[in-house]
């Protein structure tokens, strides 16, 4: 079955899973030069195999709210591919979670994890549980109930979940506690654990910092740097605020963050004091809009950040947050670099638009791989039962992000995707990630 036939099959079989189709098509349409150069991939039906997860585990989660009322949610774990290591990927708690979203995330995770060069397969999990407005007791009861189901399917050598939207250090700790309670095993089953009971230093910062390290490499490839650049960030969660923090540390000026309620604009830029305030505010689930009373700036209810002028955009909230109209605004407003902090924040049309206008574009599976890379470092620290310093992890993270950048850039050149100095990071990253997984699958024969 050719790649185009495989796409047709996915479209017919999973017509009700648009995000999954979108993620599959992006990979399919960019790996053709690699596929053509490796006839064994077709013989072994590698693409056809990789678009079907090893398994999708679904379950029901019963839990009790503070009023003692029984609540019912749905949960899943998509174990996509363990060709390169244990299934690895985050857990998302958000009302929009469904199988399409988790399959797109799990599919991308296979290639992202391969790009890190560390031994991890790809997976993703989550629930349609909405953490908004829930008390700490309710979050705890939900996390316990979620892991009561999930624990049967995961372990440090089988499948290692972590955080994602709606799941941070607090939730991982509750889930880890339940896993330990049920299995009597104190190991590296989840990453993003608290530092002091198995967590790695820098895991919290890793995705946002890593995205900015990736940007530094993109800029360096154009003889440019972060210094003095104006940056638009979307989202105000873990990835966004750490991306803003690192960009600020490197001398750039971040003028926007946002959340599901709107955009916060501060033309003087978010310095460390303001970022610390934002972190605290979001941690307490309080409105971003309160910022204006404390520091000034402007709150734009129900608006996105892309109407402002800038050099760099780091969309870091959620999938498909940037549509073609937003991409047009970015180009009009002078954006020259887009690094995806979130997974698939640009629609396919938005990607086409920015690339057509020669905006340097780093897809999430390359730019936001720093989080899962430090998760892999957490797994290895758990295995040897020794911990590295913040500086040691930071050095590793920088080296990993540089390596991902350089491998993607080289593949773009090698497979004829670089056009007059314009590097196609999407094609490069997909080719490198896909090749690593495909070569392992060919070596295994037809198992996996
Ligand atoms: P958080 O839960 O910490 O923050 C999510 C942020 O995005 C919040 O500001 C939230 O706003 C906003 N947001 C979420 N959904 C929507 C929506 N439907 N519309 C508008 N805004 C929305 O999540 P993370 O920072 O961890 O994750 C952000 C993105 O980064 C996701 O795509 C995730 O998959 C990706 N990612 C995360 C990694 C990690 O290590 N955490 C690693 C790699 C990628 P509000 O607070 O109002 O809900
Ligand atoms: O999308 C992602 O890479 C994550 N949410 C982090 C996954 C992980 O296992 O650290």
Tell whether ligand 2 has an atom less than 6 A from the beta carbon of residue 239. Answer: no
- Per the structure, how many domains does the chain have? 2
Q: How far is the CA of 164 from the centre of ligand 1 (A)?
A: 7
The sign of the dihedral angle between the CA atoms of 173, 176, 182, 184 is negative
For residues 123 and 69, the answer to whether their CB atoms sit within 8 Å is: no
For residue range 336-371, list pLDDT tens digits in order. 999 999 999 999 999 999 999 999 999 999 999 999
Q: How far is the CA of 342 from the centre of ligand 1 (A)?
A: 7
Q: Is 208 in the pocket of ligand 1 (CB under 6 A)?
A: no
Please give the number of the atom of ligand 2 that sits closest to the Cα of 108: 1
The last residue of a domain, from among 310, 333, 362: 362
Residue 124 is among the residues annotated as catalytic for this protein: yes
pLDDT of res. 122? 98
Q: Would you state the pLDDT for residue 309?
A: 98
Domain membership of residue 278 (yes or no) is yes
- At 271, list the tokens: 């310095």
Residue 3: what pLDDT? 86
Q: Are 174 and 300 found together in one domain? A: no
* pLDDT, averaged across the chain: 97
Asked if the structure places residue 21 within a domain, the reply is no
- Supply 448's token pair: 């996996």
What distance in Å separates the CA atoms of residue 423 and residue 78, rounded to the nearest whole number? 32
Predicted confidence (pLDDT) per residue in 190-231, tens digit: 999 999 999 999 999 999 999 999 999 999 999 999 999 999
Q: 173 and 75 share a domain?
A: yes
Token pair, residue 420, equals: 């007059």
pLDDT digits (tens, 9 = 90+) for 140-199: 999 999 999 999 999 999 999 999 999 999 999 999 999 999 999 999 999 999 999 999
Give which of 76, 123, 81, 130 is closest to 99, Cα–Cα.
76
Spacing, Cα 117 to ligand 2 middle (Å): 15
Going from the Cα of 373 to the center of ligand 1, the distance in angstroms, rounded, reads: 18
Determine the residue of 126, 164, 237, 317 to mutate for testing ligand 2's pocket, defined as the one with the most ligand atoms within 8 A of the Cβ atom: 164
Note the pLDDT tens digit of each residue in 121-146: 999 999 999 999 999 999 999 999 99
Q: What is the CATH number of the domain that holds 137?
A: 3.40.50.10860
Q: What is the rounded average pLDDT of the residues 34-40?
A: 95
Q: Evaluate: CB of 235 within 6 angstroms of ligand 1.
A: yes
Taking CA atoms only, the protein residue closest to ligand 2 atom 3 is 372
d(CA 98, CA 104): 10
Determine if ligand 2 sits within 6 Å of the CB of residue 373: no
**Position 448 pLDDT exceeds 90:** no
Task: Compute CA distances 99 → 56, 92, 128, 320, 368, whole Å.
Answer: 8, 12, 10, 16, 22
Is 448 contained in some domain? no
| Domain coverage including residue 166 | 53-183
- Separation CA 360–CA 251 (nearest Å): 20
Question: pLDDT tens digits for 43-52?
Answer: 999 999 999 9
């Amino acid at each position: 079955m050719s790649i185009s036939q495989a796409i047709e099959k996915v479209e017919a079989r999973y017509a009700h899973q648009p995000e999954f189709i979108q993620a599959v098509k992006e990979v399919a349409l960019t790996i053709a030069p690699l596929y053509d150069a490796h006839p064994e991939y077709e013989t072994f039906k590698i693409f056809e195999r990789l678009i079907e997860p090893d398994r999708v585990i679904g379950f029901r989660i019963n839990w009790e709210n503070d009023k003692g009322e029984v609540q019912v949610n749905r949960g899943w774990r998509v174990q996509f591919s363990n060709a390169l290591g244990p299934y690895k990927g985050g857990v998302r708690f958000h009302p929009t979670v469904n199988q399409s979203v988790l399959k797109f995330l799990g599919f991308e995770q296979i290639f992202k994890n391969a790009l890190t060069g560390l031994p991890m397969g790809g997976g993703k999990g989550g629930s349609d549980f909405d953490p908004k407005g829930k008390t700490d007791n309710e979050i705890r009861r939900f996390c316990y109930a979620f892991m009561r189901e999930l624990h049967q399917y995961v372990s440090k050598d089988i499948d290692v979940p972590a955080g994602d939207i709606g799941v941070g250090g607090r939730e991982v700790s509750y889930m880890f506690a339940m896993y330990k309670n049920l299995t009597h095993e104190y190991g590296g089953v989840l990453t993003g654990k608290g530092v002091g009971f198995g967590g790695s230093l820098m895991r919290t910062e890793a995705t946002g910092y890593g995205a900015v390290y990736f940007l530094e490499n993109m800029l360096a490839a154009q003889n440019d740097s972060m210094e003095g650049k104006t940056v638009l960030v979307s989202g105000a969660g873990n990835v966004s605020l750490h991306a803003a923090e690192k960009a600020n540390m490197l001398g750039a000026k971040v003028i926007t963050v946002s959340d599901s309620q709107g955009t916060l604009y501060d033309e003087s830029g978010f310095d460390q004091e303001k970022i610390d305030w934002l972190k605290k505010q979001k941690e307490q689930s309080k409105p971003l809009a309160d910022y204006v009373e404390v520091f000034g700036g402007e709150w734009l209810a129900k608006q996105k950040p892309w109407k402002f002028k800038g050099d760099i955009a780091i969309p870091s909230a959620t999938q498909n947050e940037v549509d073609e109209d937003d991409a047009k605004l970015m180009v009009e407003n002078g954006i020259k670099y887009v690094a995806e902090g979130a997974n698939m924040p640009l629609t396919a049309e938005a990607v086409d638009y920015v690339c057509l206008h020669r905006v340097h574009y780093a897809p999430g599976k390359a730019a936001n791989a720093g989080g899962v890379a430090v998760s892999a470092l957490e797994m290895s620290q758990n295995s040897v039962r020794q911990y590295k310093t913040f500086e040691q992890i930071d050095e590793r993270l920088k080296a990993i992000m540089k390596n991902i950048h350089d491998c993607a850039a080289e593949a773009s050149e090698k497979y004829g995707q670089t056009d007059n100095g314009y590097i196609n990071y999407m094609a490069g990253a997909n080719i490198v990630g896909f090749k690593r997984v495909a070569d392992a699958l060919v070596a295994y024969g037809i198992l996996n």
